[in-house]
Structure 1
Amino acid sequence: MRIPFTGPVADKHRRVVLVTGAGSGIGRAISLRQTAAGDIVIATDIDLAAAGRTAQLAGANCHPYPLDVRDPEQWQQVTDEVIDRFGVPDILVNNAGIALGGAFLDQTAADWEKIMSINVYGVVHGCKIVGSKMVDSGRPGHIVVIASGAAWTPNRVAPSYSTSKAAALMIAESLRTELAPRNIGVSAVCPGVTRTQLATNATLITGEASSTEEFRADFAQAQARYSFATPDMVARAVQRAIRFNLAIVPVNFDATLAWVLHRLSPGLMRQICSIPTMKLAENAARVAAQRVPASIAFHRD
């Protein structure tokens, strides 16, 4: 009999953990933490070399695999290989994601298809393919979806990103109700702004190409200096979610504030989020990166 308020696999040792987007940032931090906890980690990434670097850092119990989360056939292949070698995953962490900034009317259908194929359908494929194997095995399991505080922030600068993360959050909540009778926990972990390469790799839709690249550089610097969270903070939140079978875990100050405001007054939240525009975001990033002293930061290396 499981102790109340603990997750289905909280007390299991040497669990098999499959992590997507494990080549850097949050995915790498999760892989390192789970390996250190004694788990066997399957570090997947579209960039196999990056996943390999994560495995080198984590040690012998971390194994890199190539995976494009948009492709269900690749999901099936990786899942079958992992099961043949290690057994059915005990934990799946859907972490892979991208960012896309730009006003709603400036984003094309292709932009929406791109972000949804990774942030939403990548989660759908993983939950369906790996989740079905968990169910078939009849053993306890846990699925984590890395959503975002953006799921609670309707806005003018990244509407497709917020929409994709809101969808990912609802997938986790819906799946939690479906899989609970199967003794499989499902958690949505929702970071706020985190010190990762998300800004550097984001698609930004502004006026001119030169302006876009300048904005990207400023945004990346601002994210690195003034983000409230580090990848390891998110990795610790993942461990809490698994240990206590938590439904939703806002990670840091800005995500928690967004969650509270969204719950208390959606109208007020919309009013606040209607203020920033792409132009204001560009100016704020420029000031933060170029005029505020680098010594004033939330994080120091």
Structure 2
Amino acid sequence: MAGFDNEIVVITGAGSGIGRATAQRFARRGATVIAADIDKERVVDTVASIRLEGERAVPYQVDVSDAEAMADFADDVYSAHGVPRVLVNNAGFTTAGPFLEHTIEDWDRLMGVNLWGLVYGSTFFGRQMIDAGTGGRIINVTSVAAFTPIPLSTPYCTTKAAAQMLTEGLRLEFAGTGVGVSAICPAFVDTGFYDSAQAVGLADVAARRTRNISRYAAKLVAHSPETIAKTIVRVAARNPAVVPTPIEARALYLATRVSPGGARAAARLLKVDDLSDLMNRLIPEALLGRLDRFLAKRLD
């Protein structure tokens, strides 16, 4: 499965970030890209960028958390284009805030996009692949959050851990069918994903400050979406089980396997309350104010 000439590749969350970069890369490899996103304007823009290079792509607006919409989407793709060779379940959503401040509605949205979206995509398109008997690849974009706890992100980490186990379970179940299932676990990617995170219960100035420091630090070390897209296309031509990427993601993954307790201890060092308290004790208020203004300007 080294080439993708005239193959159908379905990508969710293709309106921006990793999804957009992945759609463009598959198109350059000769695939007909089915680009899906909840935001119609963004996915149309992705498709326009692909067609501008003379490649093939078709836009679809779909909410991956809606079972009926995803069933209809899969049916429409099958009727118009046939069975996809590759499905990239990439659409994702995150929040940032304390666990106890999250509402059931927050959890429903996170679960809907980050877990149920993968379930629906894998169910409807996976059935097409298996029934056709021609093989294929399902690639689920999870996160290092699937195996590493992140401060202010317990609900998000929970959904990604569930997505990771879904991927590993599907890989086991689909073995022998010709349909491979892989998990891509990115870290520190400059997609704007965390900038658009829904803030939950972060009214406290110190909590917002710590979150903004984390966002800014991520921007300084973040890799481009194209880096992850390159990995996804490579994985689609092979069939590895779990692919943490880039190198810091692999280091985190290894750390959780070698010393789970050590990884948890490291995560505790990043707790918002502890960091905020340390900064308040060591840094004068005037300097903290300047820091807040600097971050606001850089993250605007």
Quickly name the TM-score band, shorter chain normalised: 0.7 to 0.9
Moved more, 249-258 or 119-128: 249-258
Relative to 1, partners in 2 of residues 1:182 and 1:288: Cα closer, same or farther, differing over 3 Å?
A: farther
Say if 2:9 and 2:86, in contact at 8 Å, map to a contact too: yes
In structure 2, C-alpha distance between the alignment counterparts of 1:12 and 1:21, rounded to whole Å: 20
* 1:43 matched residue in structure 2: 35
Relative to 1, partners in 2 of residues 1:273 and 1:211: Cα closer, same or farther, differing over 3 Å?
A: closer
Which of 12, 15, 28 is the aligned partner of 1:23?
A: 15
* 1:226 matched residue in structure 2: 221
Relative to 1, partners in 2 of residues 1:186 and 1:17: Cα closer, same or farther, differing over 3 Å?
A: same
TM-score by length of 1: 0.86
In structure 1, C-alpha distance between the alignment counterparts of 2:206 and 2:46, rounded to whole Å: 33
In the alignment, structure 2 segments of 5+ residues that lack a partner are: 280-287
In structure 2, C-alpha distance between the alignment counterparts of 1:74 and 1:219, rounded to whole Å: 35
CA deviations over 1:140-183 (Å, ceiling 9, x no partner)? 11000000011111243211111111111111111011112110
* 1:255 matched residue in structure 2: 249
Say if 2:4 and 2:29, in contact at 8 Å, map to a contact too: no
Which of 182, 186, 189 is the aligned partner of 2:184?
A: 189
In structure 2, C-alpha distance between the alignment counterparts of 1:138 and 1:288, rounded to whole Å: 57
Relative to 1, partners in 2 of residues 1:209 and 1:17: Cα closer, same or farther, differing over 3 Å?
A: farther
What is the one-letter code of the residue matched to 2:246? Answer: N
1:98 partnered with 2:93:
yes
Q: Which has the larger radius of gyration?
A: 2
1:78 partnered with 2:70:
no
TM-score by length of 2: 0.86
Relative to 1, partners in 2 of residues 1:289 and 1:87: Cα closer, same or farther, differing over 3 Å?
A: farther
What is the one-letter code of the residue matched to 1:264? Answer: V
Say if 1:100 and 1:158, in contact at 8 Å, map to a contact too: yes
Say if 2:15 and 2:37, in contact at 8 Å, map to a contact too: yes
1:161 partnered with 2:156:
yes
In structure 1, C-alpha distance between the alignment counterparts of 2:291 and 2:205, rounded to whole Å: 18
3-state SS, counterpart of residue 62 of structure 1: strand
In structure 1, C-alpha distance between the alignment counterparts of 2:261 and 2:251, rounded to whole Å: 15
Which of 258, 262, 274 is the aligned partner of 1:264?
A: 258
Relative to 1, partners in 2 of residues 1:12 and 1:42: Cα closer, same or farther, differing over 3 Å?
A: closer
Deviation of 1:223 (Å): 3.5
Deviation of 1:109 (Å): 2.1
Deviation of 1:289 (Å): 8.7
* 2:109 matched residue in structure 1: 114
In structure 1, C-alpha distance between the alignment counterparts of 2:35 and 2:122, rounded to whole Å: 16
Overall identity of the aligned pairs, in % = 34
Deviation of 1:257 (Å): 1.6
Aligned residue pairs total: 284
In structure 2, C-alpha distance between the alignment counterparts of 1:13 and 1:267, rounded to whole Å: 46
CA deviations over 1:108-162 (Å, ceiling 9, x no partner)? 2222221111100110011011111111111111000000011111243211111
* 1:290 matched residue in structure 2: 294
* 1:67 matched residue in structure 2: 62
* 1:137 matched residue in structure 2: 132
In the alignment, structure 1 segments of 5+ residues that lack a partner are: 1-8, 295-301
1:150 partnered with 2:145:
yes
Which of 209, 232, 243 is the aligned partner of 1:238?
A: 232
3-state SS, counterpart of residue 176 of structure 2: helix
In structure 2, C-alpha distance between the alignment counterparts of 1:183 and 1:164, rounded to whole Å: 27
In structure 2, C-alpha distance between the alignment counterparts of 1:212 and 1:273, rounded to whole Å: 16
In structure 1, C-alpha distance between the alignment counterparts of 2:116 and 2:293, rounded to whole Å: 34
3-state SS, counterpart of residue 199 of structure 1: coil
In structure 2, C-alpha distance between the alignment counterparts of 1:158 and 1:209, rounded to whole Å: 16
Moved more, 28-37 or 214-223: 214-223
Deviation of 1:205 (Å): 2.2
Deviation of 1:290 (Å): 2.6
Relative to 1, partners in 2 of residues 1:243 and 1:207: Cα closer, same or farther, differing over 3 Å?
A: closer
Relative to 1, partners in 2 of residues 1:271 and 1:215: Cα closer, same or farther, differing over 3 Å?
A: closer
